[in-house]
Amino acid sequence: DGGITQSPKYLFRKEGQNVTLSCEQNLNHDAMYWYRQDPGQGLRLIYYSQIVNDFQKGDIAEGYSVSREKKESFPLTVTSAQKNPTAFYLCASSITTGATIQETQYFGPGTRLLVL
């Protein structure tokens, strides 16, 4: 059964701590994405990756880092430089065709990050 999994469902971060959110997909999609959702706001793009070993900053990349060593995996690290990390984080993937994406993005169930 193909899909996107995110773990953990809830994550707590202490002051000054880095935390990593996991995202795995078995859809064989080339492109993967991380979004952040805050109350009353839309989905804001943090980072995206078109292909393995390549990724680009989105609109709100400061305080975050990513890696794309495998096609199936796109972990997001929330660093201590991110001063307001409390949010709902969503991972997505999509098919790509040439220089653009095709069709829709498929989303994981999300991770809620809370600061202690």
Partner 1 sequence: DQQVKQNSPSLSVQEGRISILNCDYTNSMFDYFLWYKKYPAEGPTFLISISSIKDKNEDGRFTVFLNKSAKHLSLHIVPSQPGDSAVYFCAVHPPGTYKYIFGTGTRLKVLA
- Binding region for partner 1 (CB under 8 A): 4, 6, 31, 33, 35, 40-45, 48, 50, 58, 88, 90, 92, 94, 96, 99-101, 103-110, 112
Side chain identity at 116, as an amino acid letter? L
- Minimal distance in Å, beta carbon 74 to partner 1? 13
What does the alpha-carbon distance between residue 43 and residue 107 come to, in Å, rounded to a whole number?
12
CB nearer to partner 1: give 8 or 109.
109
Q: What angle do CA 96, 92, 21 make, to 5 degrees?
A: 135
Beta strand pairing status for 19-25 and 76-78? antiparallel
What does the alpha-carbon distance between residue 112 and residue 98 come to, in Å, rounded to a whole number?
34
- What is the CB-side half-sphere exposure of residue 55 using CA atoms within 13 A? 25
CB nearer to partner 1: give 45 or 80.
45
CB nearer to partner 1: give 80 or 107.
107
CB nearer to partner 1: give 20 or 56.
56
- Minimal distance in Å, beta carbon 83 to partner 1? 22
